[in-house]
Amino acid sequence: MWKSVLAPIHPDGWRFIALGAVLTLVAFSVHLVALGWLALAATLWIAYFFRDPWRVTPLRPGLVVSPADGMVLVADQAPPPAELGMGTAPMMRIGIFLNVFDVHVNRVPLAGVVRKLAYRKGRFLNAAHNRASEDNEQMAIRIASIEGPDIAVVQIAGLIARRIVCRLTEGQEVATGERFGLIRFGSRTDVYLPAEWAPLVAPGQRVLGGETVIADAVSRELARQGRMN
């Protein structure tokens, strides 16, 4: 029960929490009570934002898991980022929007070896817009998957996101569901898969990073449709 209530804090969050705690103590010590309560509330929210909960990753050859918590924006066909050198042919793209209340830790969607990392400076449009995939600041990652084809996962900054953290290095072996970074304060994460891999999620669906299966390399079912009830 405690694991579901008290999630660990991502290491990148501790300095922000410490800063908030110091501001809280200073405000109360000089009798700025209203500011102190405001700083305390902000500190608690920062701790909540940087939470890094445990996840159970399904492990079976071919399963692709969500790289992030959030809402599926698109499940369509689009060319991968040109910087990755994966060609211009459309691939299956699954785009996930993370609001400021979602867990922002990113996870590897499919095991393999990191072939290329490509950082691109850009704008900070609302990550919910499709133009964000092309125009926004981003870190693109090409992975030679254990299933054979190369896939890509792209961390995309959002309207108020100003920091993309990626801990991967080229040549590194990665496991499905493994943590690899985060994006600070609202963002988007796109996954590019072979065009013949049908998505197992639909736009509007909520997904959990490292846990929700979003595609299956060995399945040949049709793309799923969604209905809000």
Indicate whether 222 belongs to any domain: no
**Total number of domains constituting the chain:** 2
Do 75 and 43 belong together in one domain?
no
Do 19 and 118 belong together in one domain?
no
What is the DSSP code (8-state) at residue 131? T
CATH number, residue 173: 2.70.70.10
pLDDT exceeds cutoff 90 at 6:
no
- CB of 212 closer than 8 Å to CB of 70: no
User: For 91-144, how does the pLDDT look when each residue is reduced to its tens digit (9 = 90+)?
Assistant: 999 999 998 889 889 999 999 999 999 998 877 766 667 776 777 889 999 999
Q: What integer best gives the mean pLDDT of the chain? A: 88
Select which of 66, 133, 145, 187 is catalytic: 187
Which pLDDT belongs to residue 4? 58
Asked about 219 being catalytic, the answer comes back as: no
Indicate whether 205 belongs to any domain: yes
**Global confidence as pTM:** 0.87
Do 195 and 146 belong together in one domain?
yes
Share of the chain above pLDDT 70, in %: 93
Do 34 and 85 belong together in one domain?
no
Q: What does the alpha-carbon distance between residue 145 and residue 168 come to, in Å, rounded to a whole number?
A: 15
Do 204 and 104 belong together in one domain?
yes
Query: What number of other Cβ atoms are within 10 A of residue 94's Cβ?
Result: 27
For 21, residues 6+ apart whose C-beta sits below 8 A from its C-beta are 43
Indicate whether 225 belongs to any domain: no
- Structural domain boundaries enclosing 133: 63-216
How would residue 15 be classed by pLDDT, with cut points 50, 70 and 90? confident
Q: What does the alpha-carbon distance between residue 85 and residue 120 come to, in Å, rounded to a whole number?
A: 14
